Structure 1
Amino acid sequence: MTSQSHTPPFPRAASLIGGIALLLIAVLAGIGYVGILSPLIESGDAVETAHDIADSELLFRLGVLLMITAAVLDVVVAAALLALLGPVNRAVAVTAAGFRVAYSAVFVVALTQLAIVPGLLNQPDRVLTSLASHHMIWQVGLILFAAHLLLVGYLVVRSGFMPRALGILIMIAGVGYLADGIGTVLIADYTARISTVTFIGEVALIAWLLWTTIRWSRMSQETKVDGLQVSRFAANDE
């Protein structure tokens, strides 16, 4: 009875897939946007921006590709979290997954504004317009992502098998993205980035999913070893 009470009420495969997919998104976004795209596109000078991208066009295209890959992985994460949290409240979990898939679609639309930039390098003003469109679409899409995190956080708090503190951190991350998304819509030249402070809940979720999978895998192996030892002792007694 004791061992049964500690059996996780969620699929370990979904926990592993979700954790790995989230980790890959973080790595791809770090390399693709922070490492490659941001240094090339965060300039208000149209001519200089077009020149910088032209000098590193292949690298720029690689950055876009990495971000598209991250967007595809968002769909994988949505499915994994649905498998994990569906038993808590199926309707809410499906809605949360739907918001993440919708965000992924909006994100891809935003990335198309970057994908067309290499074809506009001889028109610097249009390059800046495309980059601005990318930023606006992405930031508005964060409202959908925020809704996803708020619902996931709620489900984690209600789950009973995941730490309540983790759920609260995830909801705080959602509030940060929501503030940034709404701020972009309502305030001209919105520059605050609250999500850069509140994102810790996303990191905690990655760590918990991967750690839990590893922990239960070890426990499962130990249980098998213990069971084998019991069988051997029983055989010896006979």
Structure 2
Amino acid sequence: MIMEPLRTGATAERASTAELVRTARMTGLFYLGMAIAGVLGFLVIRPRLFAADDPSATLAHLVGNESLARAGVVLEMLMVLTQALTAMWFYRLFRTVDAFAAGSIAAFGLVNAVIGLDSAAFLATAVEVAFDPVGDAPTTVYLQYLLSGNLWGVGAMFFGLWLIPMGFCVLRSGWMPRPLGWVLIGGGVGYLLGAFIVYLAPEARVVAELIAVPAHVGEFWMVGYLLVSGVRRRALREAPRDDARMATPAST
């Protein structure tokens, strides 16, 4: 009779830990989807379609690669979707660690999603004009790609901003390696500064790219840790009982 409540409490604690790990891995899955869509759309497809300083070549690339151009729009939309889901799941994961920091991750992440949504609309407009020309089609198509690219350029501020509270939550929770938290914070600051450097001193673009490297390292490290480990179970076991109970997300 005495042992029954203890078994019930241990079972509840194991269930809470398992739920936290599931939340972490779902967050990592959405984050991975966002990364894949972003890499394929921005680094693979866009360079094959957009010809810098050549509106006529850009239009010709779209007309000659319709499927690729439409895939670029769809990938941008997928990145928006997974970005929004990642932002909300990070809030679910960290809200009991620090509500303000977790809310900041969600808010900055949703701003990124809105930026991507606008970019997707510009790319869709470019495709529409390419196949149903209106006015000066080469200039219009080229302008849409410039607008899309500069949205991501100025939006890099928020990609930096959302990494800073993410790193803070890593440090405060103890659920992931502490170096990961510092890399995320440093990378976020670098990303934020780089967004200004690109426009203040275009000739120093390589500097902006270099100081953003920790951000890329931190993001892929975070994705990998969430998917493989979820959270450090040892950190949960070593936490005081009340803190451990507070650190687990509520069931839905």
Give TM-score, length-normalised by structure 2: 0.76
* Aligned residue identity for 2:217: I
The residue aligned with 1:202 is 219
| Separation in structure 1 between the aligned mates of residue 197 and residue 102 of structure 2, nearest angstrom | 27
- Cα deviations by residue, 1:115-163 (Å, 9 ceiling, x for unpaired): 1112333521222221111111111112112111111111111112221
Structure 1 unaligned residues grouped into runs of 5+: 217-238
Q: What amino acid does structure 1 have at the position aligned with 2:101?
A: V
CA contact (8 A) 1:18 1:77 kept: yes
By how many angstroms is 1:188 displaced? 4.8
Instruction: Give the C-alpha shift of residue 27 in structure 1.
Output: 1.7
3-state DSSP of counterpart to 1:116? helix
2:56 paired with 1:47? yes
**Deviation per residue, 1:7-50 (Å, 9 max, x gap):** 85971221111111111112222222222222211432111111
Unaligned runs of 5+ residues in structure 2 are: 1-5, 234-252
Distance 1:115 1:76 in 2: 22
Does the CA contact (< 8 Å) of 2:122 and 2:148 recur in 1? yes
Q: State whether structure 2 residue 69 is matched by structure 1 residue 69.
A: no
Counterpart pick for 1:58 among 55, 67, 82:
67
Alpha-carbon distance in structure 2 between the residues aligned to 1:125 and 1:196: 32
Higher relative contact order (CA 8 A, sep 6+): 2
Q: CA RMSD in A?
A: 2.6
**Equivalent position amino acid for 2:127 in 1:** P
Counting matched residue pairs gives 214
In 2, the alpha carbon distance for the partners of 1:176 and 1:200 equals 12
Normalising by structure 1, report the TM-score. 0.80
8 Å Cα contact 2:176/2:232 also seen in 1: no
Q: Percent identity?
A: 24
Q: Does 1:176 align with 2:190?
A: yes
Is 2:143 the partner of 1:126?
no
Contact 1:172 1:201 in 2 (8 A): no
Question: Partner of 2:229: helix, strand, or coil?
Answer: helix
- Which residue matches 1:235? none
Corresponding letter in the other structure for 1:154: F
> Compared with structure 1, are the counterparts of its residues 174 and 102 closer, same or farther at alpha carbon in structure 2 (3 Å cutoff)?
same
Q: In 2 relative to 1, CA 212–36 (structure 1 residues): closer, same or farther, beyond 3 Å? A: same
Match of 2:238 in 1: none
Specify the code of the residue in structure 2 equivalent to 1:161: W
Structure 1 residue 55 displacement after superposition: 0.3
